[in-house]
Chain A
Amino acid sequence: MTATPDWLLARDAALCPCGCIGKRRKGSYVQKTLTGGADLLRQVMFSDDTSSAAGLLQRVEPRAKLIGLLGLVVAGAFLRTIPALLVLYAATLALAAASRLSIGFFVKRVWLFVPIFTGIVLIPATLSVVTGGDVVLTLWHWHGHPEGFTSQGLTSAGLVVCRVAASISLVVLLALTTPWTRLLASLRALGVPRMFILVIGMAYRYLFLLLGSVTDMYAARAARTVGAERHDRGARRFVAASAGALLGRTMAMSEEVHQAMTSRGYRGDARTLAQPRPVVRDLGFVAAAFLFGAALLVGERVLGG
């Protein structure tokens, strides 16, 4: 047997002998990225839970749901008044409730995105220097003229916020009530090529595997790191080396996946299972969505004069 070196037998104290406790530092961007990745995984798992609940939208065939909700998004894009958009938004809340989604979670998920998509664009547009009109809140004066938020600017901003909120609500409804894989497959109904869907599906599937590999690599490094992590050249080198190692693993994995496909008769033209035919209920949902969208558009024109 190989002799064990002396240093391996020595019992070093891991902590400082004086018993002091070192400084604490915030996690690095690598750690944050990994935590974000793990959160994503949890979110996807959670969304699978909501998509298997026995609610209204979960019962609708994904293709019908995709077409129906997309129709409502298009209708929302043509609505020109805030009340009409609020009706559409209220309808999404009703659909969420009927689909057994937690309204608090649903609203939070939507309003998390709204400021990102609208905030940067809208704030300047509410000011009189961009959108002229009646100033309702004066912020400063320019050559004796009051400048600030205009009612026209605020109305335009409100319109955009309502439209974005309604559209995102419809997309979130679709995402939360449909398993991702079936949603992807339903894109065939919109004419997306089968090979494209196959590749996206595999990319999504292996994303989780790679995420697991990255988490393991980082954990293995963290387990052997003594003291606070540093953000210097060494840290950057670790990230670059990990990326390289991951690329190597990805290449090896992709070769083996291709072999596994070839072994089962794949020759470049993948065949996939057909989706079940839509039933009356599904067609009814599409018709109801289109009728509701049309009613909103017509009602808005009639009532708006």
Chain B
Amino acid sequence: MAELGSVAEPILACRGVRYRYLDRFVALDGVDLAVHRGEKLALLGANGCGKSTLLKILDGLLFPDEGTFTAYGEPITEDSLEDEQLNAGFRSRVGFVFQNSDAQVFSPTVREELSFGPLQLGLSRDDVTRRVDDVLALLQIADLADRAPFQLSGGQKKRVAIGTVLAMNPEVLLFDEPTAALDPRTSEWLTGLIEDLAATGKTIVLATHDLDSLARLADRCVVFSEEHRIVASGTPAEVLAQRDLLLQVNLIHQHTPLPTA
């Protein structure tokens, strides 16, 4: 994988990306997006507008039908990810926290789950063990280390899912609806964690339609229309000030009071 580009260059870039499921259902319709190092970017939009699909493209799990996606200046395609070095470089730099923690927590125990990513990237078993212990302590889940996923609550599974990605120490963290279906305390903890991660220089890209925590979760937002296109971008304050736009893209209802940015 190429060395890191200049500071002004986006680390992840989509140009004219179109994606359809089963060749019929449009998920993204000509999306241009640039993600810069160290920023907190929120993808805002109603259900089904294509946010999750875009995150999966940014993680090299889906590939555009049309348009291009580049990471650190390298085109990311199904073919290019066959290259072992590029694959390892890309996977170690970009981590994805799925919305459905059950999909992400697939190993028999929490400890094995946390060790899965670093082991696949070729870290020594001693390093992996150390990292896993550190992540368990950081996320305050040391007592869950030998538990099976079916014994965990939704909030605990979310912590483990985040731990699986943190253990790989990626530069870019992609979150799909991070605070959805979490109780207030866990939601607040997660918002704080994302702020802390961003403060350490990590790049955060998250999909959400939760406007209440937007000012803390993002310093830039892009807004998707229900026609699967990006229709606006700006700081949380700028976006939240456009009530008509938010109404039009189904992010708020006419009776919804807007949070103050």
Does A pair with B?
yes
The interface size of chain B toward A, counting residues with CB under 8 Å, comes to: 39
Contact A257 B119 (CB under 8 A): no
Contact A208 B150 (CB under 8 A): yes
Q: Is B108 part of the binding interface, using a Cβ–Cβ cutoff of 8 Å?
A: yes
Q: Is A136 part of the binding interface, using a Cβ–Cβ cutoff of 8 Å?
A: no
A263 CB to nearest B CB, Å: 5
Contact B108 A201 (CB under 8 A): yes
Contact A264 B164 (CB under 8 A): yes
| Complex contacts, B120 vs chain A, CB 8 Å | 264-267, 270-271
Contact A256 B108 (CB under 8 A): no
With A209-B150, A253-B103, A257-B103 known to touch, is A265 a contact of B108 (CB < 8 Å)? no
Residue in chain A with minimal CB distance to B61: A259
Q: Is B151 part of the binding interface, using a Cβ–Cβ cutoff of 8 Å?
A: yes
Contact B61 A265 (CB under 8 A): no
Residue in chain A with minimal CB distance to B150: A208
Contact A181 B148 (CB under 8 A): yes
B180 CB to nearest A CB, Å: 16
Interface residues of B in 115-152 (CB under 8 A from A): 115-117, 119-121, 125, 128-129, 146, 148-151
Q: Is A97 part of the binding interface, using a Cβ–Cβ cutoff of 8 Å?
A: no
Contact A264 B102 (CB under 8 A): no
| Complex contacts, B84 vs chain A, CB 8 Å | 267
Residue in chain B with minimal CB distance to A184: B108
Q: Is A14 part of the binding interface, using a Cβ–Cβ cutoff of 8 Å?
A: no
| Complex contacts, B148 vs chain A, CB 8 Å | 48, 179-181, 205
Partner of A45, one of B59, B60, B121, B151: B151
Total residue contacts A-B, CB cutoff 8 A: 93
B148 CB to nearest A CB, Å: 6
| Complex contacts, B108 vs chain A, CB 8 Å | 180-181, 184-185, 201-202, 204-205
Contact B92 A205 (CB under 8 A): no
| Complex contacts, B98 vs chain A, CB 8 Å | 256, 259-260
Q: Tell me, in angstroms, the Cα distance from A83 to B129 when the chains sit together.
A: 49
Contact A201 B107 (CB under 8 A): yes
Chain A, residues 31-54, CB within 8 Å of chain B (1/0): the string is: 000000000010001001000000
Q: Is A4 part of the binding interface, using a Cβ–Cβ cutoff of 8 Å?
A: no
| Complex contacts, A267 vs chain B, CB 8 Å | 84, 87, 120
Q: Is B39 part of the binding interface, using a Cβ–Cβ cutoff of 8 Å?
A: no
Contact B146 A179 (CB under 8 A): yes
With A257-B106, A260-B98 known to touch, is A273 a contact of B87 (CB < 8 Å)? no
Partner of B102, one of A48, A185, A209: A209
Q: Is A2 part of the binding interface, using a Cβ–Cβ cutoff of 8 Å?
A: no
| Complex contacts, A206 vs chain B, CB 8 Å | 106
| Complex contacts, A180 vs chain B, CB 8 Å | 108, 148
Residue in chain B with minimal CB distance to A271: B119
Residue in chain B with minimal CB distance to A259: B61
Contact A262 B61 (CB under 8 A): yes
Contact B115 A273 (CB under 8 A): yes
Interface residues of B in 82-112 (CB under 8 A from A): 84, 87-88, 91-92, 95-96, 98, 100, 102-104, 106-109, 111-112
Q: Is A87 part of the binding interface, using a Cβ–Cβ cutoff of 8 Å?
A: no
| Complex contacts, A260 vs chain B, CB 8 Å | 96, 98, 103-104, 106
Q: Tell me, in angstroms, the Cα distance from A267 to B117 when the chains sit together.
A: 11
Q: Is B251 part of the binding interface, using a Cβ–Cβ cutoff of 8 Å?
A: no
Contact A265 B112 (CB under 8 A): no
Residue in chain B with minimal CB distance to A209: B102
Q: Is A9 part of the binding interface, using a Cβ–Cβ cutoff of 8 Å?
A: no
Q: Is B56 part of the binding interface, using a Cβ–Cβ cutoff of 8 Å?
A: yes
Q: Tell me, in angstroms, the Cα distance from A261 to B104 when the chains sit together.
A: 8
B124 CB to nearest A CB, Å: 11
Q: Which 5 A-B pairs have the closest CB atoms?
A: A265-B120, A264-B117, A181-B108, A256-B103, A208-B150
Contacts beyond the supplied A259-B61, A263-B95, A265-B121: 16 A-B pairs with Cβ under 8 Å: A180-B148, A181-B112, A202-B108, A205-B106, A208-B150, A253-B102, A256-B100, A257-B103, A257-B106, A265-B91, A265-B92, A265-B120, A265-B168, A271-B120, A273-B111, A274-B125
Interface residues of A (CB under 8 A from B): 41, 45, 48, 179-181, 184-185, 201-202, 204-206, 208-209, 253, 256-257, 259-267, 270-274
Interface residues of B (CB under 8 A from A): 56, 59-61, 84, 87-88, 91-92, 95-96, 98, 100, 102-104, 106-109, 111-112, 115-117, 119-121, 125, 128-129, 146, 148-151, 164-165, 168
Write 10 A-B pairs (CB below 8 A) sorted by A numbering: A45-B151, A48-B148, A185-B108, A260-B106, A262-B61, A264-B95, A264-B116, A264-B120, A265-B88, A267-B84
